[in-house]
Amino acid sequence: MSRHALLRLLVALLVGTIFGFGLALSGMMNPARIAGFLDVASGRWDPSLMFVLGGAVIVAVPGVLLQRKMAKPVLDARFHLPEKTGIDARLVIGSAIFGIGWGLAGFCPGPALSALTTGLATVALFVCAMAAGMILQDRALQKVLP
């Protein structure tokens, strides 16, 4: 492995660790926290997710602005940005499925992977189901849907 590839791997590991630590510190690995945010009708609404998301935006905006000024990333030959920018049926349906799953399970991919560190069987089951759904979409549905 080249020094450049090793450095990229170490930076990715560091950034992922910081992200996971932030998710744990903010309580976002707890599905009850997500359910509390989404349950606005019970009188026990938990606004903490709004503050976590606001903090994420505060961190992301300067990063995006910096990225737009850079010719290329520090540890890669080019930026890997989405090529499709239009809103189509697949995007809307996928977003709806994501939102329904997030609301029902209280996990999205990042917190679910971070929550694997808890060793809970329910988390492992969720991550396996999430991975199966991603593989199914990638392999099977890509051939069926345009």
pLDDT tens-digit profile of 23-45?
888 888 898 888 888 888 888 89
The number of domains in the chain is: 1
Model's pTM, two decimal places?
Answer: 0.75
Query: 61, 93, 85, 73: which is closest to 4 by C-alpha?
Result: 73
Per-residue pLDDT tens digits for 107-140: 888 899 989 989 999 999 999 999 998 888 888 7
Give the closest residue to 45 by CA, choosing from 55, 54, 34, 58: 34
Whole-angstrom Cα distance, residue 102 to residue 84?
24
**Residue that the structure tokens 């998301």 belong to:** 53
Q: What is the domain range of residue 85?
A: 3-144
pLDDT of residue 91: 87
Of the listed ranges 1-5, 117-121, 139-143, the one predicted with least confidence: 139-143
H helix count then E strand count, the chain: 7, 0
Name which residue leads in pLDDT, 90 or 70: 70
